[in-house]
Every structure is written in structure tokens, then in C-alpha cells.
């Protein structure tokens, strides 16, 4: 699922102080509340209507026909667990 909501005024450049200010005012708060409601309602629908989950899996399978996932991390890579010991 993907959706968009407003958090700053039209015409504000991305990654600007105006975006930050918009998030601190009522427009940002209203957007936060709205997006939270959309996500919660969507999760509730998925939990209570198994047919939606089946439809989602069917769409996923249809959209990924012929596509093979290739992990961006090499198979022989390992996390640097000793990083802080050096």
C-alpha cells in the first residue's frame, strides 16, 4: 500500500527549514494524525478480512512474475562484529 499526505505548503523546496517548520505546526500534526488513521485502518482491515490478504498476495505474485530477487549484499559478506574491539 502506498499513499501520500501533506506535511508542508505547496512550493516549499525539499529538505528545507520550511518542511521542518511545517511538521512542527498544525498542518504537520494533522497529517500525522491522518496518516496514522489510514495505516491503523489498513492494518485492521488486513487482520479482520483474510480475503484482502489473499488478494494482496495474488497481486504480488502477478507483479513479480519473471523477476528474481538478487540481494545487494554479497553471500560471503559478514557483519563487522569485532569493529569496536579494534
Question: In this structure, is residue 85 part of a structural domain?
Answer: no
Q: Please, are residues 28 and 7 in contact by the beta-carbon 8 Å criterion? A: yes
The model's pLDDT over 14-73, given as tens digits with 9 standing for 90+, comes to: 889 988 888 888 888 898 899 999 999 999 999 999 999 999 999 999 999 999 999 999
Structural domain range at position 56:
16-60
36 found inside a domain: yes
User: What does pTM read for this prediction?
Assistant: 0.62
In a domain, 32, yes or no: yes
Does residue 50 fall inside a structural domain? yes
User: In the chain, how many domains are there?
Assistant: 1
- Residue 26 lies inside a defined structural domain of this protein: yes
User: What pLDDT shows up at residue 85?
Assistant: 77
Report if residue 51 sits inside a domain.
yes
* Reported confidence tier of residue 9, pLDDT bands at 50, 70, 90: confident
Tell me the CA distances in angstroms from 80 to 38, 41, 72, 77, one per residue in order.
Answer: 39, 40, 17, 9
Amino acid at each position: 500500500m502506498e499513499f501520500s499526505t501533506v506535511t508542508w505548503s505547496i512550493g516549499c523546496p525539499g529538505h528545507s527549514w520550511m518542511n521542518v517548520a511545517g511538521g512542527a505546526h498544525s498542518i504537520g500534526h494533522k497529517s500525522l494524525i491522518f496518516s496514522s488513521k489510514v495505516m491503523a485502518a489498513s492494518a485492521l482491515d488486513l487482520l479482520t478480512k483474510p480475503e484482502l490478504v489473499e488478494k494482496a498476495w495474488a497481486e504480488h505474485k502477478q507483479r513479480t512474475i519473471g523477476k528474481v530477487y538478487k540481494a545487494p549484499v554479497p553471500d560471503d559478506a559478514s557483519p563487522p562484529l569485532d569493529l569496536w574491539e579494534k
